[in-house]
Amino acid sequence: MSETNPAATAAASAEAAPHRYTAALAAEIEARWQDFWDVDGTYAAPNPTGDLADDAELAAKPKKFIMDMFPYPSGAGLHVGHPLGYIATDVYARFQRMTGHNVLHTLGFDAFGLPAEQYAVQTGTHPRVSTEANMENMKAQLRRLGLGHDKRRSFATIDPEYYKWTQWIFVQIFNSWYDDEAKKARPISELVALFESGERPVPGHTRAWSELTAAERADVLGEFRLAYASDAPVNWCPGLGTVLANEEVTADGRSERGNFPVFKAKLRQWNMRITAYADRLIEDLDGLDWPEAIKLQQRNWIGRSEGARVDFPVDGERITVFTTRPDTLFGATYMVLAPEHPLVEKFTPEAWPEGTHEAWTGGHATPAEAVAAYRAQAAAKSDVERQAEAKDKTGVFTGVFAVNPVNGEQVPVFIADYVLMGYGTGAIMAVPAHDTRDFAFARAFELPIRCVVEPTDGRGTDTSTWDDAFSSYDAKLVNSAGESVTLDGLAVPEAKARITEWLTETGIGEGTVNFRLRDWLFSRQRYWGEPFPIVYDEDGIAHSLPESMLPLELPEVEDYSPRTFEPDDADTQPETPLSRNDEWVHVTLDLGDGRGPRPYRRETNTMPNWAGSCWYEFRYLDPHNDRELVDPAIEQYWMGPREGLPHGGVDLYVGGAEHAVLHLLYARFWSKVLFDLGHVSSAEPFHKLYNQGMIQAYVYRDSRGIAVPAAEVEERDGAFWYQGEKVSRLLGKMGKSLKNAVTPDEIAAEYGADTLRLYEMAMGPLDVSRPWDTRAVVGQFRLLQRLWRNIVDENTGAPTVTDAEPDEDTLRALNKAIDGVGQDLEGLRFNTAIAKVTELNNHLTKAYGSGGSLPRTVAEPLVLMIAPLAPHIAEELWRTLGHTDSVVHQDFPVADPRYLVDDTVTCVVQIKGKVKARLEVPPTISDEELEKAALSDEKVVAALGGAPIRKVIVRAPKLVNIVSG
């Protein structure tokens, strides 16, 4: 790379031309303007209660709130892939500032999280120390890119002034319940009032509310609170010493980090009742300007299924199943319970019923034995493994029969691992003729398969000849006539409606909606997270801390690492780091609830690192407010609903598509709770979402498959060589481990940040992944050099512009560029915007000569156009052109429509069939206009010589034929 490095060549000749745009000059310009912008507060966005209030002009501007998914300050720092989105939002924000918007753009840090804690375990460094050092490093890296952030608004989620409000929100969620009728969250005190007045019966109790003990009341309320503790089965990972979210567990039941075994264990955990919002989380997607793919992923994650619950009587108990196909009830020939289903213990008989099929017993002497053995086997598998379509179906008979309510038939009840406890009711009616998994199971266990939906593919209703289930919805019911209900002849949707009606009438079941979404497990057994604002009294009842006791700061502990155990020891229990600080855990407090000072024990779990990113958009608005989360007037201004739309929210939110569900779902959920409780004005946090692509990089591997340093690989004769050995090349991720990371610092040092910005934006459409190619960066450096040379005298540094009028061609090129670049920047098409600037600059170089003198009226809009993309060079050129104000708040140029018409076409004018003149006319010219133009043309007038015109035939825009004489 070094032989051909033009930056180096340019530097060598810098003496000859001291004001040439070289890497050194770029570095000097960039550092100078970055300092200036900081001191000047160029990017400070005024709030409606502050500067905006006294400035009518500012107040009249529409607002734009532009946001990036904020980074985790990793110890590895940034590589060139990371800032792609940050540069894009910066370009867009700059363009918005130049088109009359009050723009809020800043960046904070999502700074709690496991990596700092694991680093702490390895090195003994306090997570705060390493995290802060990483943030400083990242801030310096980001500053070098010239990002126009309002730094007054930046914060980190680990700042106590910030997490005070994360804790405060937790308290609000804890102290509220979801009113299914009003379809919104309400304060829990209102529910208590309903119980007290008797307006609402107290579930699970026949006594009045006033007669319940404190513990009983707490239990009742726990069933309603939007944040509640429960003894849920969780993913316990002894090797990491912590509990993991489902998403942190791999398909084969191991931890994503560290690859340790994960076990199901029952632990007292905090949960968020996000399921209460399932319907609204689906419905409100419609009003959002998000990629369809992300909306679909959210819908699938929430997984709404309409179906029915049906009760099957068995031995004085009943099995309730959830089915999406109640229409197939007549085809239910057996049932399956999840192995963990609580009913299983209740009805295991002592012996196998007479004539039990051998295959059903699993070779065990009694049902109890068979069930116990099968349960142990199932417990060792993950949900994903259990559900795999292709896997052999296993299970055992429980020894009991249930009654199919629609026809009174006895159907055997099995346990099998393909039915999950965590979905629906954990029990199914099996319809092997019409469900693929049931079909496979029925074949394996020789169970009857009864066709109740007539196949439309010609296979007939004799299931003994079938190879698979028939599961189409577009068909009619057969074999479904009972004493009290008949479905025969109905199409599937009608049959569903009919049977659901019957189930409801008879009380055997009812229509119901089931969601795949689970409540959000919110506890982590870690140190480096927000402490819960919760204390337990002597009866073990949880109380939230009053606002005056927030923030509850993370205490110092001697050893902040989680206690880990033998990875295979499933019987262990986590020991939270916070529990090791006795003084902090055991406190006497007056919670201000009238009970006076009392001893309490603090909650010693911490919140998951999603918590801090659930609401940060609100805090950017009013980051230093110590009275409330955000001033309502400020929140309303930046986030409030806009005309014609159901919600408000951030105007543009840019980040990776990997955050399709968790972060975006959690943030939407918190917004909705805050909205319901009246703390914010938009029920949706992010109006427009955009996913940037990834910057990929070539990975070079030697013959052993080991990655070699990409920077040292040479290309020769179409092959790649490292230290004399041929290596292979593949496109992959960029990163330290693949030895192909390129840092923004290296590129900025070699060419300047403006070149880096341009290169990243020029690489391709923003939403598409693209391979990094260091050798191609120079192309953008050359563009900036040519641009510079077109405006600045390289010897004197003075501007070369003149007051001359630009020629027609130049005006056309200029106005087309202005128009196109503006549209592209608005549409986030930065690559084509750069192409248009390049084209214009090339035109100017040709028209006025390299280093020639541009008309000022061309040079200025050129600088303004490049300003959002390459702000440092633009600021420098703008000042060089004699301006005293920053380029940042100038108006983006507006195209003159006269120069936007397409190029002209040539019209031939004939007189008596002979060509007498040619006219350059717009292609859209009308017949009348063209006739007028032809008849007044000098040559035509001369050729006619005053002869009378008999007829004019016009074929706009190409031909005018005049018959004269």
Interface residues toward ligand ANZ, by CB under 6 A: 305, 322-325, 328, 338, 419-420, 423-424, 426, 428-429, 431, 434-435, 471, 514
Environment class of residue 91 by beta-carbon count within 10 Å: exposed (0-12), middle (13-18) or buried (19+)?
A: buried
- Which residue, 471 or 696, is less far from ligand ANZ as judged by CB? 471
- Which residue, 364 or 476, is less far from ligand ANZ as judged by CB? 476
| Dist. CA 575–CA 306, nearest whole Å | 42
The sheet carrying 949-955 orders its strands as 914-921, 905-911, 959-964, 949-955
Q: Which of 386, 347, 378 is nearest to 362 (CA)?
A: 378
- Which residue, 130 or 328, is less far from ligand ANZ as judged by CB? 328
In whole angstroms, the minimum distance from the beta carbon of 295 to ligand ANZ comes to 19
Contact indicator for 175, 221 with CB cutoff of 8 Å: no
Environment class of residue 253 by beta-carbon count within 10 Å: exposed (0-12), middle (13-18) or buried (19+)?
A: middle
In whole angstroms, the minimum distance from the beta carbon of 508 to ligand ANZ comes to 15
In whole angstroms, the minimum distance from the beta carbon of 545 to ligand ANZ comes to 39
Say whether 736 counts as a known binding-site residue. yes
Contact indicator for 49, 633 with CB cutoff of 8 Å: yes
In whole angstroms, the minimum distance from the beta carbon of 658 to ligand ANZ comes to 24
In whole angstroms, the minimum distance from the beta carbon of 226 to ligand ANZ comes to 25
Neighbours of 407 (CB within 10 A): 16
Residue 776 CA from chain centroid, whole number: 31
- Which residue, 302 or 734, is less far from ligand ANZ as judged by CB? 302
Reading the block at residue 425, the tokens are: 């009711």
In whole angstroms, the minimum distance from the beta carbon of 409 to ligand ANZ comes to 15
In whole angstroms, the minimum distance from the beta carbon of 449 to ligand ANZ comes to 12
If you write DSSP's letter for every residue of 30-94 in order, what string do you get? HHHHHHHHHHHTTTPPPPTTTGGGG-HHHHHSPEEEEEEPPPP--TT---TTTTHHHHHHHHHHH
In whole angstroms, the minimum distance from the beta carbon of 659 to ligand ANZ comes to 24
Q: Which of 811, 836, 833 is nearest to 901 (CA)?
A: 811
In whole angstroms, the minimum distance from the beta carbon of 203 to ligand ANZ comes to 25
Reading the block at residue 192, the tokens are: 């208590």
Contact indicator for 431, 441 with CB cutoff of 8 Å: no
- Which residue, 451 or 673, is less far from ligand ANZ as judged by CB? 451
- Which residue, 101 or 434, is less far from ligand ANZ as judged by CB? 434
- Which residue, 60 or 296, is less far from ligand ANZ as judged by CB? 296
Q: Who contacts 66 (Cβ-Cβ below 8 Å, separation ≥6)?
A: 89, 92, 93, 96, 103, 104, 105, 650, 651, 652, 654
Residue 115 CA from chain centroid, whole number: 21
The single residue listed with the structure tokens 């000749």 is 13
- Which residue, 513 or 941, is less far from ligand ANZ as judged by CB? 513
In whole angstroms, the minimum distance from the beta carbon of 329 to ligand ANZ comes to 8
| Dist. CA 673–CA 281, nearest whole Å | 12
| Dist. CA 962–CA 951, nearest whole Å | 6
- Which residue, 130 or 500, is less far from ligand ANZ as judged by CB? 500
Q: Which of 890, 820, 771, 870 is nearest to 87 (CA)?
A: 870
The single residue listed with the structure tokens 């923003």 is 766
In whole angstroms, the minimum distance from the beta carbon of 499 to ligand ANZ comes to 12
- Which residue, 322 or 615, is less far from ligand ANZ as judged by CB? 322
Q: Alpha helix (H) ranges present in 622-775?
A: 632-639, 662-676, 744-751, 753-762
Reading the block at residue 228, the tokens are: 């509640």
- Which residue, 492 or 873, is less far from ligand ANZ as judged by CB? 492
| Dist. CA 639–CA 618, nearest whole Å | 8
Per the annotation, binding residues are: 736
Per the annotation, binding residues for ATP are: 736
